[in-house]
Amino acid sequence: MKNANSKLIIAIDGYSSCGKSTFAKQIAKTLGYIYIDSGAMYRAATLYCMENSLINEGEVLISKLLAKLNKIKIGFHFNRDSQLFETILNDENVEERIRTVSVSNFVSPVSKIKEVREKMVEIQRNLGKNKGIVMDGRDIGTIVFPNADLKIFMTANPAIRTQRRYDESIEKGQDVSYREIENNILTRDRIDEGREISPLKMAHDAILLDNSHLSVKEQMEWVMKIIEDILEK
């Protein structure tokens, strides 16, 4: 068995609206690990672009963005009152603002920029240098942590993903339509799979998890058995 103090790097990749964040947060909470939301980092970078006139008529002004890239500071804060992780952009809590559909519509164009991804990866690797982390995103197991101790690739039926995101948005009081959510998800899938830099794909040594019809509890029972097996080797 591994040393009792052994800690793992757990990488969770997959399609949007598969519940990666919920799953990763629960794993981190159960193990007492640090949770790093890579998707929130790209959303925060996108919000920065939107609020600093770096997106014009639907186009990212790449040269202007690169000139300000080092001014983007992203971190995470655990709110003990709400028991939730919150995203901090330049010392400001932006957790709610980065979850809007308007931000979602520009995440893929911003995240496919080579220099943006390199900057985020640099931050992510630094956060994981001491292990004991759970990170979710699109390229964690293939690019950020190719030697992660456990890699999981999540997927679900597109219709189910759309309904999940729609229900979540309505619960938050956002004015959105089902069709708008569906178009956003399908567009993001296409862009994520087809981009030149770090395209979305399943690592050769990842374990596939289709959670279309699985509850969070069922997913946790599944993954904890895998983690126990790893730690016992």
Domain-embedded: residue 3:
no
Domain count along the chain: 1
Sequence letter at residue 57: E
Q: Which domain holds residue 163?
A: 9-228
pLDDT in tens, 170-227: 998 988 899 999 999 999 899 888 888 778 899 999 999 999 999 999 999 999 999 9
Give the model's pLDDT for residue 129: 87
Query: Given CA atoms 44, 45, 50, 52 in this order, what sign does their dihedral have?
Result: positive
Domain-embedded: residue 185:
yes
Domain-embedded: residue 233:
no
Please check whether residue 136 is in contact with residue 39, taking contact to mean a CB–CB distance below 8 angstroms. Answer: yes
Domain-embedded: residue 134:
yes
Domain-embedded: residue 195:
yes
User: Alpha-carbon distance 181 to 152, whole Å?
Assistant: 25
In the block, which residue shows the tokens 């019809």? 213
pLDDT in tens, 26-59: 999 899 888 888 889 999 999 999 999 999 999 9
Residues 6+ apart with CB under 8 A from 96: 172
Domain-embedded: residue 2:
no
Q: What is the CATH number of the domain that holds 185?
A: 3.40.50.300
Domain-embedded: residue 166:
yes
